[in-house]
Amino acid sequence: MEELDGNAAAGMLSEVFALELTAARGRCDGCGNIAAVGEARVFVDSPGLVVRCRNCESVLLVLVRGDGRYWLGVQGLTWLELAAT
Amino acid sequence: MAGAAVLGRLTWRLAEVAGVVAQTMRTRTLVLEIDGWSGHRAGQHVDIRLTAEDGYQAERSYSIASGPDDPRLELTVERIDDGEVSPYLVDEVRQGDSFEVRGPIGGYFAWSPDDGGPLLLVAGGSGVVPLRSMLRARPRDVPAKLIYSARTHDDLIYRDELSALGDDVLLTLTREQREGVRAGRVDEDLLRDETFAPDEDPRVFVCGPTSFVESVASALVELGHAPERIRTERFGPTGR
Amino acid sequence: MSPVSRGFRGRSRSDAPRDRVPPGQYVTDDFPVLSAGPTPHTPLDEWTFTIAGEIDEPRRWTWDELRALPSEQITKDIHCVTKWSKLDSEWEGVSVDTLLDAVDTEAEHVVAFCDGGYTTNLPLDDVTGGKAWVAFAYGGEPLDPEHGGPARLLVPHLYFWKSAKWVRGLTLRVDDEPGFWERYGYHNYGDPWREQRYWGD
């Protein structure tokens, strides 16, 4: 089982986000930690992409891809700070 | 680069293998021609997708080894024992073959000259690949230091290219004693003695196996480097 | 259609009789490790299995107590929603029927809960009548942590995300409550033969 970091999620996230996400900072709704998505703990060998807070391990974001549909869960993020340029 | 953060959807493009270059016993560089390739920032990666005859597909990510101004895209792949994709790329693929590529990907672990220096690069094993792209991208007036840790001398990738950089590169071997080459792990002492001090405010990039990245990043923070100046890319326990 | 990559074979895949392989699956001899989070490591002297919820008295077994219960050798085909099927996989475990023996309950649903926080939901009918086990051995060896050891739920007739790794108990419920993957887009029931992979299938 590979535990990687947010860089490994970038490709799949680019399928649903127009803005680059790994440089974006997010606030973990579980512990309040603020960090770049690139620093998160990412599980790619999975039925879906699971992004977890490096500080408290709670789930920040889940992306499931199947037969032409995506399910995006972002409940674990209070917010994401995205740069437009 | 203006607009670097705005993507549009990345499409899968066909990459043709223009050449293969043996690097070490376990690694090989693939030189690719990609129709419609728009260029990249040093540190970024590509996803590749392979399709078997029965339609089965496998996807993997590989760091871009070439610099942004190099004429062709290069990927350096390490063979993982009983890997699904890397043995194919290292042992089977030949000139004229093609496969799908998507990219460039990544906005976090990336550097352009506009981002400034000095550049402190710390590589464990195949983690040297994206950092070599950064070294190729940096103008001569940006100070840079690469610390590159490998198991043995034979495991060192890009040996000639890196030795031409003289004191900008420090090699260290963890499983071999070899005359003229430093032995030992990348620890706080090495980082304190051989790299930029925190008050020089370097941009730091650390890449390699997960445990290597964690221990180096901790050591750098212990030495006083600001965590926001340190960017990391973990390749997992054995690399990809 | 993607072009074929000359000479690429990929993970071992074999042919199998069609009636053994649900639609859309590949058959493999490998046992891919899939995980939504880090591998937990609970020491066996702290490990317990609990049945709680819609039950008069919660039941709990320590590791030694679970291992003292009658167990079975189970040989079953298993099917992962990521398209892998493994035929004739060999397990050993305690039947959930044994754990629920003489339990009086109004519950119609269970939620399996696990170290690391993973959950999955199933109808009570789908874990009783010889259809489910708490499995502690695979291929004749103690179950490896990355495959869910010391014990996982084993429910081979449904997609394998229902066979929850690192299981620590079952909560009996009158109402259904979707578990981890069921909340994030996977099918609430997950029958491989009806290809119920995703929400809304």
pLDDT of residue C83: 92
* Helices and strands in chain A: count of H runs, count of E runs: 1, 8
CA distances A36 to A76, B9, B22, B203, Å, are: 14, 21, 36, 16
B142-199 pLDDT, tens digit each: 999 999 999 999 999 999 999 999 999 999 999 999 998 999 999 999 999 999 999 9
pLDDT of residue B35: 86
Mean pLDDT value of segment B15-38: 96
Position A84 confidence tier, pLDDT thresholds 50, 70, 90 = confident
pLDDT of residue B8: 57
C145-187 pLDDT, tens digit each: 999 999 999 999 999 999 999 999 999 999 999 999 999 999 9
Closest CA to B135 of B164, B106, B97: B164
> Three-state SS for C187?
coil
Residue C110 included in any domain:
yes
Least CB-CB distance to C2: which of B51, B84, B93? B51
Rounded to a whole number, what is the distance in Å from the CA of C190 to chain A's nearest CA?
13
Cβ atoms of A32 and B134 closer than 8 Å:
no
Mean pLDDT value of segment A4-13: 94
Position C65 confidence tier, pLDDT thresholds 50, 70, 90 = very high
Judged against a pLDDT cut of 90, whether residue B125 lies above it is answered with yes
Least CB-CB distance to B102: which of A6, A11, A19? A11
Chain A residues 20-49 with a CB less than 8 Å from chain C: 41, 43, 45-48
B201-226 pLDDT, tens digit each: 999 999 999 999 999 999 999 999 99
pLDDT of residue A2: 67
Please judge whether B4 and A20 are an interchain contact, meaning their C-beta atoms are less than 8 angstroms apart.
yes
| Domain assignment of residue C59, given as a range | 48-194
CATH T-level assignment (fold) for domain B13-105: Elongation Factor Tu (Ef-tu); domain 3 (2.40.30)
Q: Which residue has the higher pLDDT, C135 or B83?
A: C135
Question: How many structural domains does chain C have?
Answer: 1
CATH T-level assignment (fold) for domain B113-234: Rossmann fold (3.40.50)
Rounded to a whole number, what is the distance in Å from the CA of B172 to chain C's nearest CA?
31
* % of chain C at pLDDT higher than 90: 92
Least CB-CB distance to A83: which of B5, B7, B9? B5
pLDDT of residue B180: 87
What DSSP string runs through B100-119? EEEEEE-SSS-B-GGG---E
Please judge whether C8 and B14 are an interchain contact, meaning their C-beta atoms are less than 8 angstroms apart.
no
Mean pLDDT value of segment C124-151: 97
CATH of the domain at C163: 3.90.420.10
Domain boundaries, chain B: 13-105, 113-234
The C-alpha atoms of residue B1 and residue B118 are separated, in whole angstroms, by 19
Is B53 part of the contact surface with chain C (CB cutoff 8 Å)?
A: yes
Encoded tokens for B174 = 């963890």
Best residue of B34, B49, B60, B92 to probe chain C, by most C CBs closer than 10 Å: B92
Judged against a pLDDT cut of 70, whether residue B3 lies above it is answered with no
Judged against a pLDDT cut of 60, whether residue A32 lies above it is answered with yes
Residue C108 included in any domain:
yes
Please judge whether B7 and A6 are an interchain contact, meaning their C-beta atoms are less than 8 angstroms apart.
no
Residue C113 included in any domain:
yes
Average pLDDT, chain C: 96
- Name the interface residues of C facing A (CB cutoff 8 Å): 32-39, 80-82, 146, 161, 181, 183-186, 197-199
Position B237 confidence tier, pLDDT thresholds 50, 70, 90 = low
Please judge whether C3 and B51 are an interchain contact, meaning their C-beta atoms are less than 8 angstroms apart.
yes
Residue C8 included in any domain:
no
Least CB-CB distance to B210: which of A3, A15, A37? A3
Please judge whether C10 and B98 are an interchain contact, meaning their C-beta atoms are less than 8 angstroms apart.
no
The C-alpha atoms of residue C153 and residue C102 are separated, in whole angstroms, by 20
Q: Which residue has the higher pLDDT, C137 or B6?
A: C137
pLDDT of residue B2: 41
Backbone φ, ψ for residue B91 (5° rounding): -105, -25
C82-119 pLDDT, tens digit each: 999 999 999 999 999 999 998 999 999 999 999 999 99
The complex's ipTM? Answer: 0.92
pLDDT of residue B219: 97
Q: Tell me the chain A residues in contact with residue C36 when contact means C-beta distances shorter than 8 Å.
A: 43, 46-48, 50, 59
Sheet holding B169-173, edge to edge: B182-183, B169-173, B144-150, B119-124, B203-208, B230-234
Please judge whether A85 and B6 are an interchain contact, meaning their C-beta atoms are less than 8 angstroms apart.
yes
Encoded tokens for A31 = 């512990």
Cβ atoms of B5 and A84 closer than 8 Å:
yes
Cβ atoms of B58 and B50 closer than 8 Å:
yes
pLDDT of residue B6: 54
> Three-state SS for B168?
helix
Please judge whether C7 and B57 are an interchain contact, meaning their C-beta atoms are less than 8 angstroms apart.
no
* Helices and strands in chain B: count of H runs, count of E runs: 5, 12
Domain boundaries, chain A: 3-81
> Three-state SS for B163?
helix
Best residue of C5, C27, C28, C29 to probe chain B, by most B CBs closer than 10 Å: C5
Least CB-CB distance to C81: which of A47, A50, A70? A47
pLDDT of residue B7: 55
Cβ atoms of C150 and C138 closer than 8 Å:
no
Please judge whether A71 and C184 are an interchain contact, meaning their C-beta atoms are less than 8 angstroms apart.
yes
Is B52 part of the contact surface with chain C (CB cutoff 8 Å)?
A: yes
Strand partners, A77: A28
Sheet holding A49-52, edge to edge: A3-5, A41-43, A49-52, A59-66, A69-73
Tell me which chains share at least 3 CB pairs under 8 Å with chain C. A, B
Q: Tell me the chain C residues in contact with residue A70 when contact means C-beta distances shorter than 8 Å.
A: 185
Residue C153 included in any domain:
yes
Beta-carbon pairs below 8 A across chains A and B: 81
Please judge whether C8 and B52 are an interchain contact, meaning their C-beta atoms are less than 8 angstroms apart.
yes
